[in-house]
Amino acid sequence: MAASQDTRTSIAAAFYLLVAGLAPAQTNVLTGGYGNSRTNANVHETVLSPATVKPGSFGKKFSVTVDGQIYAQPLYVQGVAIPGKGTHNVVYVATMHNTVYAFDADTAGVPLWNVNLGPSVPTSTYDSDWGTYQDIMPENGILSTPVIDGSTGTIYAVAATWEKSKYLYRLHALDFATGLEKFGAPTLIAASVAGAGDGSVRGAVAFIPDMHLQRPALLLTDGAVYVAFGSHADAAPYHGWIMAYSARNVQTQLAVFNASPNGAAGAIWQSGRGLTADDSGNIYAVTSNGTTDETSNYSDNVLRLDSGRLRVRDWFAPYNFQDLNDSDTDLGSCGAILIDGTNFLVTGGKQGVLYLLDRTSLGKGSVNDSGIVSRVDTGNFGVFNLALWNRPDGALVYSHIVNSPVTAYRITGGKISSAPVARSMNGFNVPYQGMTLSANGVNSGTGVLWVLAPASYPLPSHAVLHAYNADGLSEIWNSDMADGDAVGGYVKFVNPTAADGKVFVPSASNQLVVFGAVVSGPVSSMPLVTSISNVASYAQGGVAPGEMLAIQGVDLGPAEIAMNSVPAGGVMGVAMAGTQVLFNGIPGPVFYASSSIVTAIVPYAVAGASDVKVKVIYNGKTSAETTLPLVEAAPGLFSADSSGSGPGAILNADYSLNGENNPASAGDIVVLYGTGGGRVKGSVGDGTITAAATSLVADTTVTVNGEPAEVLYAGNAGGIVAGVVQLNIRLPLTVSGTVPVVVTTAGASSQATVTVAVK
């Protein structure tokens, strides 16, 4: 289908807004736990590995000072354009003094921006069931991990404030490039539900800010931001609360849930882990000790809620839930992890039991633990944090309990191994560690388990960052090995963030400490390529002519990000900021260059070869060759957030972005974008900004939820650099919902994780 010049211009403009320069974003960390499945795992890490994390070559790179303690997990976004300050990889830090900071993640220095969200709460004013409140001192501000909407460039955060001797909570929505409020923010958090429970007045239970802590990380799903609350040290009256707000207008409260409207307690705190969400619109929360009758009060339960009205759809409670309530051995100390690609959910609690549950059938009760698929008693108190590495040979679940080593359990055949498959040599007194796994996909030998632990107990203590080989849990490095690697004060429960070869570590010493590769002795600075993948799907393997690739490694380009826009001359250059990429000796167009990532396009001239030898040159120094097979096509579809999964970078017929809140109708024409389609008909120069439709040589088909779609056009996208593929398709009349869309070209298929919304 040939498009008019106006149409091509509209599509090109919309596309560039969608993908913001096609900077690879697979390591963006937009929410606590690395995603709504809350696995605490970044499986797109190609630099950090047991081979690169070792004494002498890994250590502290720099630190930045902020105005308060950091209890929130740092968030990370690649390639953010900061007005007047260029494009940066940005780490976002939220403090207990209620300040949000944006720092350059590679060079630190002064903040790119920072904004204070109001006076923090002196925690000396809090009550406690155990005397003076000491869990958090001296202030409470932004306690939970914020969440970022990459599609709108918004960071949402909840701040606790103390104003005229009143406790208040507000939800803020900040532009992640400027820190300015947007979408009607801030909004005061308030709620009330019908009930006769603790603190009720005339048949209603109101949210009392004085009695609650906003501990769990924020959740963003289905166009809404979810905010959950527990108590401070069980001081009554309190309840477990969840409030949902529109992400596009935070003044609009969409739904409210109370875990014990006719009882007491049922806090949702989860040691700071966020609520969990699946792709079908379900939300999972794990509540703590309190009233349980499984009709209106759901303490010590795993709950499945719908995302629309937050109604309880299913639940699980252990048979001994009353004992857990009576002894303060909360089930709700950990939160839930989803094992993607399965129906399984993993959780644990203070009792020290790990549960494997079927999230589609939680059992709606507790008789004989009928909802349990598998369980293992770890033998001691208490599960507060987990990390999960989802692998074909069985998911590995990493845990720690009091006075024990770090342990790994394997899940295969719907069963948790009865004993750990790996243990660390050293143990820890308290089970309050932060925990993060980094790995290059599912590849054995690439995983590192990062554990942020106190050096001693009781607290306070200085923190130690430990790195373990994730396969056998042998310790390969820790921050106490060298004097210059000190972390500072320990903050319990907070996870370090591993991304793009660095580990960002929060501290109680008002600092963010950044670890990564360090060099002692002469500096060679030779470029090192660690992985090459399709920039849309992040699939690795064979490459096709015209495919846009993400090349990751070390010293590949400048410390300051350089990015090409649409060039005035109509041809994208083959060198940028000192970086070139050669494919069989032929320079390819370079779209984006930084020290850790380069985006380049395979020249069409490599067609006919059996393989492609890739080299990166930076400032005259050349990497070793990486040889990849040349294939006819290697299709990948762009997603709206550049992650390779979720809602696609798909335009409806009016060129608006398709999504659950803006679906197309069955039978409509929509526009998909991808790369790796291979050669096109006619002559197209490398790096050309195509002015006319040029169809793919190879046959191309598209399925939507498995149903064939009519392909009206498949070829280079007009107005966009050659190599970006545009597909105009007519949606099948037989599909509806948010469903997968897959492109197949020359027998090769795109990833099955990109979705289109159809009504």
CATH number (domain holding residue 708): 2.60.40
Q: List the CATH number of the domain containing 557.
A: 2.60.40.10
Query: Within this chain, do residues 597 and 615 fall inside the same structural domain, yes or no?
Result: yes
User: CB neighbours (10 Å) of residue 728?
Assistant: 21
Beta-bridged to residue 75, according to DSSP, are 92
Local structure of 18: helix, strand or coil: helix
User: Do the domain assignments include residue 699?
Assistant: yes
Amino acid (1-letter code) at residue 12: A
Query: Within this chain, do residues 616 and 646 fall inside the same structural domain, yes or no?
Result: no
Query: Within this chain, do residues 655 and 625 fall inside the same structural domain, yes or no?
Result: no
Separation in Å, CA 117 to CA 100, 124, 168, 641? 8, 20, 12, 27
Low-confidence ranges of the chain (pLDDT < 50): 1-10, 14, 16-25, 521-523
User: Do the domain assignments include residue 16?
Assistant: yes
Give CA torsion, residues 746, 747, 751, 754, to 10 deg: 70
User: Do the domain assignments include residue 648?
Assistant: yes
Query: Within this chain, do residues 723 and 609 fall inside the same structural domain, yes or no?
Result: no
Alpha-carbon distance of 315 to 251, in angstroms, equals: 30
Cβ–Cβ under 8 Å, residues 169 and 189: yes
User: Do the domain assignments include residue 415?
Assistant: no
Longest dimension (CA), the chain: 80
Query: Within this chain, do residues 642 and 745 fall inside the same structural domain, yes or no?
Result: yes
Cβ–Cβ under 8 Å, residues 648 and 702: no
> Where does 431-553 have alpha helices with state H?
none
Query: Within this chain, do residues 562 and 613 fall inside the same structural domain, yes or no?
Result: yes
Cβ–Cβ under 8 Å, residues 628 and 637: no
Strands 737-745 and 636-637, bridge-based pairing: unpaired
Query: Within this chain, do residues 620 and 697 fall inside the same structural domain, yes or no?
Result: no
By the 10 Å C-beta count (0-12 exposed, 13-18 middle, 19+ buried), 585 is classed as exposed
Q: Measuring CA to CA, which residue among 27, 10, 13, 11 is closest to residue 150?
A: 27
pTM of the entire predicted model = 0.78
Query: Within this chain, do residues 702 and 619 fall inside the same structural domain, yes or no?
Result: no
User: Do the domain assignments include residue 329?
Assistant: no
User: CB neighbours (10 Å) of residue 141?
Assistant: 28
Local structure of 590: helix, strand or coil: strand
Domain boundary, last residue among 598, 629, 660: 629
Query: Within this chain, do residues 695 and 749 fall inside the same structural domain, yes or no?
Result: yes
Structural tokens at position 739: 């469903």
Q: Measuring CA to CA, which residue among 380, 498, 385 is closest to residue 433?
A: 385
Beta carbons within 8 Å of 135's beta carbon, 6+ residues apart: 232, 233
Domain boundary, last residue among 594, 629, 664: 629
Beta carbons within 8 Å of 293's beta carbon, 6+ residues apart: 262, 263
Alpha-carbon distance of 515 to 501, in angstroms, equals: 9
SS (H, E, C) 322-387: HHHHHHCCCCCCCCEEECCCCCEEEEECCCCEEEEEECCCCCCECHHHCCEEEEEECCCCCCCCCE
Cβ–Cβ under 8 Å, residues 74 and 90: no
Query: Within this chain, do residues 642 and 739 fall inside the same structural domain, yes or no?
Result: yes
Alpha-carbon distance of 500 to 91, in angstroms, equals: 11
Alpha-carbon distance of 127 to 109, in angstroms, equals: 39
Give Rg (Cα) of the chain.
26
Domain boundary, last residue among 629, 660, 680: 629
Strands 737-745 and 748-749, bridge-based pairing: antiparallel
Structural tokens at position 600: 């380049």
Alpha-carbon distance of 542 to 596, in angstroms, equals: 22
SS (H, E, C) 603-637: CHHHCCCCEEEEEEEECCEECCCEEEEECCCCCEE
Cβ–Cβ under 8 Å, residues 15 and 720: yes
Separation in Å, CA 402 to CA 26, 453, 508, 755? 35, 12, 22, 43
Alpha-carbon distance of 720 to 536, in angstroms, equals: 15
pLDDT of residue 255: 98
Cβ–Cβ under 8 Å, residues 353 and 376: yes
Cβ–Cβ under 8 Å, residues 3 and 663: no
Cβ–Cβ under 8 Å, residues 455 and 444: no
User: Do the domain assignments include residue 136?
Assistant: no
Give CA torsion, residues 75, 77, 81, 84, to 10 deg: 30
Amino acid (1-letter code) at residue 62: F
Beta-bridged to residue 517, according to DSSP, are 58
Alpha-carbon distance of 185 to 172, in angstroms, equals: 5
Domain, as residue range, for 537: 528-629
CA end-to-end span of the chain, whole Å?
24
Query: Within this chain, do residues 660 and 714 fall inside the same structural domain, yes or no?
Result: yes
pLDDT of residue 562: 81
- DSSP of 66-96: -SS---SPPEEEEEEEETTTEEEEEEEEE-T
pLDDT of residue 466: 97
C-alpha atoms less than 13 angstroms from C-alpha of 526 in its C-beta half-sphere: 9
Query: Within this chain, do residues 646 and 665 fall inside the same structural domain, yes or no?
Result: yes
Alpha-carbon distance of 162 to 125, in angstroms, equals: 10
Separation in Å, CA 712 to CA 79, 651, 669, 702? 34, 15, 9, 10
pLDDT of residue 1: 37
User: Do the domain assignments include residue 308?
Assistant: no
138 preceded by a cis bond (ω within 30 of 0) = yes
Question: How many structural domains compose the chain?
Answer: 2
User: Do the domain assignments include residue 541?
Assistant: yes
Q: Measuring CA to CA, which residue among 740, 738, 739 is closest to residue 751?
A: 740
Helix (H) / strand (E) containing 15: helix 5-19
SS (H, E, C) 274-290: CCEECCCCEEEEECCCE
Alpha-carbon distance of 34 to 340, in angstroms, equals: 13
